[in-house]
Amino acid sequence: MNIQELDAAPNSRPIGVFDSGAGGLSILSELQKALPHEDFLYFADSAHCPYGERAPAEIEALTLRAVQWLEAQGCKLVVIACNTACAFSLASVRAAVGIPVVGLVPALKPAVQHTTSGVVAVFATPVTLEGSLLREVTRQFADPAGVKVLKLWHRDLVPLVEAGHADAPQTRALLRELLTPLAQAGADALVLGCTHYPFLVPAIQAEFGDTFTLHDSGAGVAKQTRALLEQAGHLNPGAAPGQIKPGQVTLYTTGEARQVAEVAAQLWPGDIRVCALSLPEEVLA
């Protein structure tokens, strides 16, 4: 029996959050700040993480599978908290499900607004860097302002975060290697175009100080999600006035639950229940 069958009231149903791994917890943090009374179901497709170098059709199939599972659990809205998944899957997923789906757009607009050098960098996965969403926001915001956009990625960063090494010495060394050329090229704003990358902020700031202003999509996504729920009348009001009923977070992972729980404990400041989830693999056939 799913959650929808247990409680059909839309305002008390949970919000679904999907990411290829634990990186979407950075988005969930912003969602929880904006929506403190909501319950969240988080789907981490850790068995197939990272998505960054997978074929677009495979990313689309995995994303659709996850969002449909969250819909089947009774979620009233799903946030795709994965830039890579949004780059190729957002439109098709929205067409395939019957609930609102909120996606991520690279935070290039605020980076363009904050740059004084006229050079900004987008730090993301290959799929995001070559996707239509980044091309669209570049044409909309960077090109008219005459701002140069540099692109950067590295295959090891997501696995380092997933392994709980976001601020480890090897991660800092890799960030020095990757970001020093950007600073030398004049970039003064850095778009964190992968939800794993906000967890690198302490390491980036420790190595580069205020060289870069850092921009991610978390706050904007949380604002949009709250607005959609308000418009639909589906916000969870929580407890009676003057009382506090914080929402609950449950994380389902297709990976090894104990390992994911260890990483989540490092990345998430509050209580989070981690459950193993087994789904058919025909989607990859």
- In what side-by-side order are the strands of the sheet with 148-152? 148-152, 119-123, 189-192, 213-215
> 121 or 246, which is more confident?
121
Position 243 scores a pLDDT of 46
Q: What pLDDT is stored for residue 182 in this prediction? A: 96
CATH class of 3-104+219-284: alpha beta
Residue 18 clears pLDDT 50, i.e. is over it: yes
Catalytic residue status for 86 = no
Q: 251 has which bridge partners?
A: 42, 274
Instruction: Give the pLDDT confidence of 85-112 residue by residue, as tens digits.
Output: 998 889 999 999 999 999 999 999 999 9
Please check the confidence at residue 259 and state whether its pLDDT lies above 90.
yes
Four-CA torsion 23, 51, 213, 131, nearest 10 degrees = -140
Write the burial class of residue 132 (CB in 10 Å: 0-12 exposed, 13-18 middle, 19+ buried).
exposed
Which residue is catalytic, options 49, 82, 86, 275? 82
Give the mean pLDDT of 155-177: 95
Catalytic residue among 49, 75, 86, 194: 194
Instruction: Yes or no: say if 65 and 283 are a contact pair by the CB < 8 Å rule.
Output: yes
Strand-pair partners of 252: 43, 275
User: So what's the architecture of 108-216 in CATH?
Assistant: 3-Layer(aba) Sandwich (3.40)
Residue 246 confidence (pLDDT): 67
pLDDT of residue 277: 94
Mean pLDDT of the chain: 91
* pLDDT for res 64: 96
When pLDDT is cut at 50, 70 and 90, the band that residue 269 belongs to is confident
The band of 270, judged by pLDDT with boundaries at 50, 70 and 90, is confident
The average pLDDT across 140-167 equals 95
Selected residue with higher pLDDT from 2 and 144: 144
All CATH 3.40.50.1860 domain ranges of the chain, comma separated, are: 3-104+219-284, 108-216
Q: What was the pLDDT predicted at 5? A: 43
Taken as a whole, the chain contains a residue count of: 285
pLDDT tens string 31-72: 999 999 999 999 999 999 999 888 989 999 999 999 999 999
